[in-house]
Chains A and B, each alone.
Chain A
Amino acid sequence: MTAGQLPRWVDYGLMPALNVAAAFLVSGLVVLLIGENPVEAVKVLVWGSLGRNEGIGFTLFYATNFIFTGLAVAIAFHAGLFNIGGEGQAYLGGLGVALACLALDRYVPWWVTLPFAVLGAAAFGAAWAFIPAILQAKRGSHVVITTIMFNFIAASLMVYLLVNLLSKRGSMQPETRTFESGGRLPLLQDVLPGTDFGSAPVNFSFLLALAACLLVWIVVWRTRLGYEIRTFGANPVAAVYAGISPLRITVVTMLMSGGLAGMMAINEIMGSQHRLLIEFVSGYGFVGIAVALMGRAHPVGIVFAAVLFGMLYQGGAELAFEMPTITRDMIVVIQGLVILFAGALEHMFRPALLRIFGVLAARPAPAA
């Protein structure tokens, strides 16, 4: 029996907003506890992330990472799969990007390199998701476990590659050489005339991320494959009845998921760092889980959630700078609270909202 229904705008708008508000409220208390003014802190955070062009640029730069890793988690969700290996898949995606850039950057302009880099990112990320997918589909090893383990394997593998094979000759740094202009994406302000993001690294990848959102929406809701993915995710028994192969859907979805996670490296490696370096993923893959949860696994929601987390990253950095008592760790606490309220306690306000809206006649919401 269904527990009752909420109007769509409540489900997709009001509830996430309430969750975030609750997270900020608790964060405010924490800030108060360490003797700072929470209102001031919020001001700094918002101003730092949205107040100036450069702040916005940084926010969007981080958001780009979150969009890719969020989409990766979301598409797997639709098939009922919980891919928490975005971290490792993105890391490997970086290798694909770097190989394309290292091979081409001296000979061709960036827009020739880009398709190869995208292909490399997606292919390497997908490949890293392939083994867990096969293991789940054929042997029933749960992807939650295997993808986590693959994160560790990815970390070790990349250290090995960077230290032993890819680093510059004679250098002790575990990183590749810096790409020439053919391996660098233009900044967003250079592509979109009239915009100015100061020294922020937000680049062409942001547009790629938006394109990926559209693509994911089309695949999930407008194609036969997407229909099969959603059927399998919602009712695996009905999927088998409908002639949908669990093996095929598990593998195909995980490949797409891994590919999307890998795409994150385009932004970091080709868009900002211009070289492959150690631990560049630094948690973006994991935060993607929170972004997907908060965005209700819908591309539009993911964009909003990604921007919110981008704000937290950028505004948080600003905050740590302006209010020295609020350390980096405090920022992590706040981010953690948002993840807690938006992700784990996602439905905390549901009963209350149901009571409020149960009185009003709720129009049934189609699930499409």
Chain B
Amino acid sequence: MSDQLAIELVGVDKRFGQVHANKDIHLKVRKGSIHGIVGENGAGKSTLMSILYGFYHADSGEIRVDGKPVSIPSSQAAIALGIGMVHQHFMLVENFTVLENVILGAEGGALLAGGVSRARAELKRLAADYDLKVDPDALIEDLPVGLQQRVEILKALFRSADILILDEPTGVLTPAEADHLFRILRVLRDEGKTVLLITHKLREIMAVTDEVSVMRRGEIVATRQTSKTSMGELAELMVGRRVLLEVEKGPPQPGRPVLTVENLTVRDTRGVDVVRNVSLEVRAGEIVGIAGVSGNGQSELLEAIAGIRAVTSGIVTVDGTRVDLARAGTDPAAMRGLGLAHVPEDRHRMGLVTRFPECENAILGYHRDPTYGRGPFLDFDRIRNAAKTEIEKYDIRPADCMLKTANFSGGNQQKIVLAREIERDPVILLVGQPTRGVDIGAIEFIHKRIVALRDAGKGVLLVSVELDEIRALADRVLVMFDGQVVGERAPETAESELGLLMAGASGQEAAE
């Protein structure tokens, strides 16, 4: 780390209507360092990075890159200044190869051939220098998310970025993939690149950053050397109060079964069985956690139970009503009618219509409910009132139910989905990755809500790739591997044992 500054922000300010997203930001990022930024949902982190990357224009203030004042009117300008960005939601062309994606927009001339061979050589060099190995001829859609993210990094480096911005890069990664990412980031730093890293996981901040800045309500409230701070202090700086990093919950009082799944098998479009003969039971008043590395059939399992995904076989009983899923076909509305609520893993793809105002998303899936209008009509006064109640209860910011959902920060979008599904007071709640992209204050709140639902005698089926979350919330843990439930354990089971099960070791091997 040197004393030279890669980036300096002086008095940067940005408003969206009444929302003051960035207030008089002063930030110094040292050249050749990894600089973390943490903060609550809606604190303004993504906005600040978007200003750096030329997506938004600051209302006032100055940006200096390598000491020189610059203006960044577009992302092309940012790239020209050596700033690269890895987006939270990848911007890759799915049916293009890695190589094609990397050169997209930087083809270097009208004819492809020259650019392609140059790019191939360059990719090889980058792969060797930074341990960034990806098959240049693989199609993006065939790559796991971890590798897709590597392609995003390669894209930035290919455009000779010296400053790399990563906005919540680990949200979609498995722990192993995240570790690999951090190794790459350290190599990049050691090669003299500067990295700006946004994350909600304080542990990652402690593990990989050199310095960390904390944002709260649009302001930078503190900058610390990572080695001289602690997770507790950061949490307190972020939220302005002490945060419970542990979930408080009493022993479960399981009652009658509210969800039974028998012999559920799901075949995907390629003809592969992604869920294989899964049977499980959730009782009233308990939380059953499904642990597993992502991509082992958990999401498909939830979608099949919710009636969204076609199955080859399987019988689901919700609160006493048997449904033969193979015979009934997909009918999510019917499953909802039985008292089943579902927080899907991917809020952008499935849980929200980001183009709608918030209040219209607050009724998604429940829009046929008689409380929202008479006959064929919707009553928007009632819808808005219901939305406002949820906004208040879940502290969704900004508290404006007419704001376009895309304009809410990532964590607040997550809260919109959670509020909608939990407040419906379901008999059984299916929930996938409830706290992905959510700040620690909100995690505490969401965990409390889920435990409260349990204590009110409801069943919860929880899927999460965060082992910590599973262990903290679940009363029983099922481990899924390769489409099958490979074991059931108590949440107190050693992390190493669960980890081995998740990696496909047999029960006995894991226990040893």
Q: Are A368 and B57 in contact (CB under 8 A)?
A: no
Complex alpha-carbon distance, A365 and B400, angstroms: 12
Q: Which residues of A in the span 346-362 have a Cβ within 8 Å of any Cβ on B?
A: 355, 358-359, 361-362
Task: State whether the Cβ of B511 lies closer than 8 Å to any Cβ in chain A.
Answer: no
Complex alpha-carbon distance, A238 and B347, angstroms: 9
Q: Are B378 and A241 in contact (CB under 8 A)?
A: no
Q: Which of A1, A225, A234 has the most CB of B within 10 A?
A: A1
Contacts of A366 in B (CB 8 A): 357, 402-404
Task: State whether the Cβ of B367 lies closer than 8 Å to any Cβ in chain A.
Answer: yes
Task: State whether the Cβ of A228 lies closer than 8 Å to any Cβ in chain B.
Answer: yes
Q: Are B403 and A234 in contact (CB under 8 A)?
A: no
Task: State whether the Cβ of A231 lies closer than 8 Å to any Cβ in chain B.
Answer: yes
Q: Which of B351, B367, B380 has the most CB of A within 10 A?
A: B367
Contacts of B16 in A (CB 8 A): 361-362, 364
Q: Are A243 and B331 in contact (CB under 8 A)?
A: yes
Contacts of A222 in B (CB 8 A): 377-378, 380
Contacts of A364 in B (CB 8 A): 16-17, 403-404, 407
Q: Are B350 and A238 in contact (CB under 8 A)?
A: yes
Complex alpha-carbon distance, A73 and B504, angstroms: 53
The distance from the CB of B442 to the nearest CB of chain A, in whole angstroms, is: 22
Task: State whether the Cβ of B355 lies closer than 8 Å to any Cβ in chain A.
Answer: yes
By beta carbon, the residue of chain A nearest B335 is A243
Q: Are A368 and B332 in contact (CB under 8 A)?
A: no
Chain B 308-340 interface mask (CB, 8 Å, partner A; 1/0): 100000000000000000000011111010000
Q: Which residues of B in the span 367-402 have a Cβ within 8 Å of any Cβ on A?
A: 367-368, 372-373, 376-378, 380, 402
Task: State whether the Cβ of B353 lies closer than 8 Å to any Cβ in chain A.
Answer: yes
Contacts of B256 in A (CB 8 A): none
Contacts of A362 in B (CB 8 A): 16-17
Residue from A225, A231, A241 within 8 A of B351 (CB atoms):
A241
The distance from the CB of B340 to the nearest CB of chain A, in whole angstroms, is: 11
Complex alpha-carbon distance, A231 and B364, angstroms: 9
Q: Which residues of A in the span 58-110 have a Cβ within 8 Å of any Cβ on B?
A: none
The answer to whether residues A238 and B55 also contact, given A1-B50, A222-B377, A364-B403 and a CB cut-off of 8 A, is no
Contacts of B344 in A (CB 8 A): 241
Residue from A234, A359, A361 within 8 A of B356 (CB atoms):
A234
By beta carbon, the residue of chain A nearest B15 is A361
Residue from A4, A227, A237, A243 within 8 A of B56 (CB atoms):
A4
Q: Are B365 and A243 in contact (CB under 8 A)?
A: yes
Q: Which residues of A in the span 206-254 have a Cβ within 8 Å of any Cβ on B?
A: 222-225, 227-228, 230-231, 234-235, 237-238, 240-243
Chain B 341-365 interface mask (CB, 8 Å, partner A; 1/0): 0101000011111111100100111
Task: State whether the Cβ of B248 lies closer than 8 Å to any Cβ in chain A.
Answer: no
Contacts of A365 in B (CB 8 A): 404
Complex alpha-carbon distance, A241 and B366, angstroms: 11
Task: State whether the Cβ of B190 lies closer than 8 Å to any Cβ in chain A.
Answer: no
Contacts of B350 in A (CB 8 A): 237-238, 241
Q: Which residues of A in the span 320-368 have a Cβ within 8 Å of any Cβ on B?
A: 355, 358-359, 361-368
Residue from B57, B59, B331, B368 within 8 A of A224 (CB atoms):
B368
Residue from A1, A2, A242 within 8 A of B87 (CB atoms):
A1
Q: Are A224 and B56 in contact (CB under 8 A)?
A: no
Residue from B56, B89, B334, B402 within 8 A of A368 (CB atoms):
B402
Contacts of A359 in B (CB 8 A): 57, 59
Contacts of A237 in B (CB 8 A): 349-350
The distance from the CB of B15 to the nearest CB of chain A, in whole angstroms, is: 5
Chain B 446-464 interface mask (CB, 8 Å, partner A; 1/0): 0000000000000000000
Complex alpha-carbon distance, A194 and B249, angstroms: 77
Residue from A241, A243, A367 within 8 A of B355 (CB atoms):
A367
The answer to whether residues A358 and B352 also contact, given A224-B367, A241-B332, A242-B367 and a CB cut-off of 8 A, is no
Q: Are A240 and B332 in contact (CB under 8 A)?
A: yes
Q: Are B402 and A1 in contact (CB under 8 A)?
A: no
Contacts of A367 in B (CB 8 A): 355-357, 404
Complex alpha-carbon distance, A359 and B57, angstroms: 7
Complex alpha-carbon distance, A1 and B57, angstroms: 14
The distance from the CB of A171 to the nearest CB of chain B, in whole angstroms, is: 47
The answer to whether residues A225 and B376 also contact, given A358-B57, A367-B355 and a CB cut-off of 8 A, is yes
The answer to whether residues A363 and B17 also contact, given A1-B50, A243-B332 and a CB cut-off of 8 A, is yes
Contacts of B333 in A (CB 8 A): 242-243
Chain B 27-57 interface mask (CB, 8 Å, partner A; 1/0): 0000000000000000000000010000111
The distance from the CB of B359 to the nearest CB of chain A, in whole angstroms, is: 9
The answer to whether residues A224 and B355 also contact, given A243-B332, A243-B333 and a CB cut-off of 8 A, is no
Task: State whether the Cβ of B73 lies closer than 8 Å to any Cβ in chain A.
Answer: yes
Residue from A223, A231, A368 within 8 A of B376 (CB atoms):
A223
Contacts of A368 in B (CB 8 A): 357, 360, 380, 402
Chain B residues within CB distance 8 Å of chain A: 15-17, 50, 55-57, 59, 73, 87, 89, 306-308, 330-334, 336, 342, 344, 349-357, 360, 363-365, 367-368, 372-373, 376-378, 380, 402-404, 406-407
What are 13 A-B interface contacts by the 8 Å CB criterion? A2-B407, A5-B407, A222-B377, A231-B364, A237-B349, A238-B364, A241-B306, A242-B332, A361-B17, A364-B17, A364-B404, A368-B357, A368-B380
Q: Which 4 A-B pairs have the closest CB atoms?
A: A243-B333, A242-B365, A366-B402, A243-B332
